[in-house]
Structure 1
Amino acid sequence: MPSSPARVRRAEVRANTILSPGMRRVTLGGDDLLAYPTTGSPDEYVRLFFPDAAGAEPRLPRVVGRGWEFDAGIAPSPMRTYTVRAHRPGEIDIDFVRHAGGLAAEWAEGARLGAPLGVSEPFAQYTPAASATRITLVADATALPAVERIIEAAPPGTRIRLFCEVADPRDARLPAAAAHTDAVSATWVHRSGNGRFASRVADIVLRAELATDGSESVWVAGEAAMTRRVRRHLRHTLRFPADKTHVVGYWTDNEAAWRARFDALGAEHRARLDTLYGAYADATEAGREAVLDEIYALYDSVGL
């Protein structure tokens, strides 16, 4: 853990590389990252604060508790959350899914060497289950950076099974270490999900055999509707052990329409959600699963 107070740091682009038709890697470095910390978790993520225009400086907030705030009269910089694909002394790699219309994706497409960006200190959510001998990963392209880190960090002897949907077959990739072991198997669902096609990966996972005896853990990340569907199957159909599941929605397909429906909720539903969000924040790790059940049940009842 860092000994100095947490802060948002100024980083600069050190490299910008196309990995595949659907993925671009931006390497960030600079003096402010010389002592940049790491959580060590394979799902490590950061908040990125973007400038208003190419070459402009981003406005950096002050860290306050687990959040941040900008000085009075300062307009907040646009912010997005991304996985840290790799961490080296003084540098981190961030992989961006390539698509039109996204603030972060468009910044990455045009980011030149030296372009500035604000970077929070890293956070993490995922703690691998020590007793699991097999890990099943369910993902779309946005979760591939975390998938690769999970595979790289897995203890020797761990069997890993991946179900991942990608828009282009050329986006299907695993870390180099996975190419030299038969402990990792991958099912790639091409031309599926990722905001371009109907998602099909959940249908495949729902037919897969999963061990509910505690020997297997399941990690799921990607589009929110897909992850909720898989979570519902794990939790309510299979009664999968809660301590062996980790499910997180990274993004929402057609988010503008979803947000419009959310904003149109009546006062009673909004008040109930506020109460549940507060309960989730205060709950223990085990208690959060029950709160999520209530939140998602309410979402389903109002078409969210």
Structure 2
Amino acid sequence: MRDRAPRNSGSTLKMRDIARHAGVSPMTVSRALRQPSAVSEEMRRKVDAAVREFGYLPNRIAGSLSSNRTNVVGLIVPSIRNSLYASMIQAASDGLRANGLHLMIADSGHRLEDEEALVAAFLAQRVCGLILHNTVHSKRVRKLVEASGVPVIETGNLPDDPLDMAVSYSNFEAARAMTLHLARLGYRRIGFVTLPVRDNDRSEERRRGYFAALAELGRPADESLVLEADGGFSEGADALVRLMNAHPDLDAGFFAGEVLAVGALFECQRRGWPVPGRIAIASFDDVDLLRHAVPSVTTLRIPRQEIGKRSAELLVGRLQGAPADRIRLDLGFEIVQRESS
């Protein structure tokens, strides 16, 4: 008959109490709580069962976390509705969970003031780290982060002066590379449809990359070839029609969002415009929607899963005592040539 788990009288439960109840050594309990991946699944289940029965809330990186910090990492993305963030979030969550950390997720709605409120709320809840998709922040966010001392990862872009650590790719170089790629395929009049640039350095960097490519090609920087649009199917269709009406010689459209690109593709099909015969279409990010569209859509593949994985690794390393160096990790991108261009 198993011993009944003792009531917590207010004193801190000792590691040896958990170990005795689980039938393992205190060292095994410590290892299971600090780094679950370092013990067998059976051993992990025993320790977890004992922990639950005691109602014990372990500090899973106790040797590296301040005693007033939790084992929770706060992650803020611009929108939970955007499926592009799913693989990054999952990879980060997997990497953190393997080291006894948990992820708490919130969205800023693409607003700096909302990000500021969320950062303040996370820090008030004593998170042990932050992952921020934005790389443009209010002055207060910078002050809050600096004062807190928690490690921070930025994932949406590669800022010249990161808050702490940045793991991403260059939006500027990606847009520049795709514009040059379309030009090398023979397209002369390339329009660019970007997401709104307000409070969004990613969109601004992509816009700059597009114009940098035109300058390299010796082509004029025609502002009328660039439109801002929200990221829906109808907005993509409307943007394409506006560009075609303004520039009948337009032969390629580069869309800074996969839904925008597919919306434009649907509009071409509705109007009987052959793709790429009448106009080529290229996109940003590589998702199933682009792979299975007819025709399949040329795009930029961003390593979002790797961004999440490396972000978790860097956070865990910092919490385990790695030097507090400024890190700016560029994971690059890949052009995927398909039928639409």
TM-score range, shorter chain: 0.3 to 0.5
Could you say which structure has the higher helix fraction?
Answer: 2
> What TM-score results when the alignment is normalised by the length of structure 2?
0.30
Larger gyration radius, structure 1 or structure 2: 2
Could you say which structure has the higher strand fraction?
Answer: 1
